A and B are shown apart, each in its own frame.
Chain A
Amino acid sequence: MAKYIVRRLVMMIPVLIGVTFIVFFIMSLTPGDPAAIILGDQASAETLALKRIELGLDKPLLVRYATYMGNLVKGDLGRSYRNQISVASQVWDKFPNTAILAIAGILVALLIGIPIGILSAKKQYTAMDNSAMVLSLVGVSMPNFWLGLLLSLFFALKLGWLPSQGMGRGFWPLLRSLILPALTLGTGAAATVVRMTRSSMLEVIRQDYISTARAKGITEKQITKKHMLKNALIPIVTAVGLQFGQLLGGAMLTETIFSWPGLGRLMVDSITSKDIPMVLGSVIFMAVMFSFVNLLVDILYAFLDPRIKSQYKRSPSRRGVDV
């Protein structure tokens, strides 16, 4: 198992190098002179030229990339154009807030998605199943930023129950301020999880071993939990892992709506103020996070399905290639 994890970590390196290069290349296409952005319109040509050399902008793209990567390995993502504060410290500062939001969003998705999905599969083609399917279709089709606006319109402005802006300090205020953004972020994912859970439960529900378990007199609850759900879980986990990427993208929108002080909003603000190192740093950071979540999902498979685990033990190379 440890061997497999190390192997996957090593395999991640080329992907991450590729990711950083692509993002670096894209951001280098930005028109405009960074030196002018930092120094303002009044700066003389001479100071601008000096600043450009200081920023390394006189060197070719590949050299700049190599320098950037050299610093990145040391945890240095450069300095923000806007306020000259280190990008890495700002990203680390905002990351926990986005992580809280993303985890809450995933929790919403799981808590709504899995129970409804199971019920839907067990009562296939009933009114309950049909309405769950229609609702999940609506959920998948609803832009999450619109849902966010509607939620804050109703629960914050109309009823005044929950705050619509900012992040509360302390446990209860935090929880209260988290509800609407988490629902906004999680509902779309929940709809996907419902559909995934239902179809993967339906696949196992008619298997012979379920009939066997029933014939043995095991209670329905136990059958659902131990025999069905456990076997249906792998596609669900895959879906949730992929949803996490969407969540990071959605976080930009959700954080903007609710003024949540996270990475997404930091990124949007940096784009508007043309703060290239900030955008570069936050995109790279989020892409790296996404890769790690995917790795985590792959590792989770092995714990969920002992067959996969025993596969590594016999021949670790067989799986490593095509996972």
Chain B
Amino acid sequence: MSETEKRKQRTLAAETWRRFKKNRLAFAGMIVLICLVLIALSTIVIDLVTDKAIYDAYVIKQNLRMRLQGPSKEHIFGLDEFGRDIFMRMIWAVRYSLFMGTIAIALSTIAGGLLGSLAGYYGKVTDNVIMRFMDVLLAIPSMLLATAIVAALGTSLTNVLIAIAISYVPTFARTVRASVLTIKDQEYIEAARALGASDSRILFKYILPNSMAPLIVQATLGVAGAILSIAGLSFLGLGIQPPTPEWGSMLSSARAYIREGWHITVIPGLGIMITILSLNVMGDGLRDALDPRLKK
């Protein structure tokens, strides 16, 4: 088989993967994220198997005599203001940030994607009604909107998820609408219609799969934003409540003891930053890999 034939046989996904692999920074970001996902999954498994025994004994249990001790051999990240091991809390916190961010963005991708494709595909009144509503949501800065929703509904995990998801819907609606608009006038859509395909078939089988690329990139970067918002809300005391370990709320309680130990402030922030950084470089890498023309 000649080289050109081989290249032709690659699917879009394979081609994207080939280009993505070459970007070392993005690849490193992906590896970090895979590690984080594995950590999060294993903490969930450990909790299930041990019936939260480890969680209760090492993550939640206070030991006031040892409070605010700096990093040492036994506790590599030191102890927090209640004498809890920061390393264990950091590990157990991964799942909240990572999975909540992902779930929130998944929700808004579905909602935004649906609204955006309806608006783009049907145009006219549908488009106008949906997009004007999105404009209104966009006119409220997203962190502000999320805060208002949490303030009204109360602080619980679900409400934080809903708040973040709603505040990201307009972004996704806009992205999908824009790509649907460029695709719907292509010849193959016309061909599908001529063959008698229904609207929903055209939308879900032909248009949406072809408008996935920008959506995937937007979603990756969106998860980064969502994690930041969750941490921010928790920092304000409106997100995940103590003693549940979450990076933002760990920072929030560390604030009062900022004079007494640097490690309790520095380490949770590093956790957030590394996660967001990996998502950002991976998102940038994905964008370049999916659309090499954009690369500069």
Q: Which residues of A contact B (CB under 8 A)?
A: 14-16, 18-19, 22-23, 26-31, 137-138, 140-143, 145-146, 149-150, 152-153, 157, 199, 202, 245-246, 248-250, 252-253, 256-257, 267-268, 271-272, 279, 283, 286-287, 290-291, 294
Report the 10 A-B pairs with minimum CB-CB distance, sorted nearest first: A249-B143, A146-B269, A18-B136, A245-B141, A141-B277, A141-B276, A271-B151, A30-B152, A287-B140, A249-B141
Let me know if A257 and B255 touch, CB within 8 A.
yes
Tell me whether A31 and B148 are in contact in the complex, defined as CB-CB below 8 angstroms, given that A141-B276, A143-B228, A157-B259 are known contacts. Answer: no
25 contacts between A and B (CB under 8 A): A14-B132, A18-B133, A19-B140, A23-B148, A26-B148, A27-B151, A28-B152, A137-B280, A137-B281, A138-B273, A141-B224, A142-B269, A143-B248, A145-B232, A145-B235, A248-B141, A248-B143, A248-B144, A252-B143, A253-B232, A267-B147, A272-B237, A283-B144, A283-B148, A287-B140
Alpha-carbon distance between A85 and B149 when the two chains are bound, in angstroms: 24
Alpha-carbon distance between A290 and B273 when the two chains are bound, in angstroms: 27
Interface of B is mostly: helix
Let me know if A287 and B139 touch, CB within 8 A.
yes
Contact of B139 among A15, A26, A150, A267 (CB under 8 A): A15
CB-based nearest A residue for B140: A287
Instruction: Give every chain B residue within 8 A of A283 (Cβ-Cβ).
Output: 140, 144, 147-148
CB of B159 to closest CB in A, whole Å = 10
Let me know if B147 and A142 touch, CB within 8 A.
no
Alpha-carbon distance between A294 and B138 when the two chains are bound, in angstroms: 11
CB of A218 to closest CB in B, whole Å = 25
Alpha-carbon distance between A133 and B277 when the two chains are bound, in angstroms: 13
Alpha-carbon distance between A184 and B164 when the two chains are bound, in angstroms: 23
Instruction: Give every chain B residue within 8 A of A26 (Cβ-Cβ).
Output: 148-149, 152
CB of A305 to closest CB in B, whole Å = 22
Tell me whether A15 and B141 are in contact in the complex, defined as CB-CB below 8 angstroms, given that A141-B273, A272-B237 are known contacts. Answer: no
Alpha-carbon distance between A149 and B231 when the two chains are bound, in angstroms: 14
CB of B204 to closest CB in A, whole Å = 28
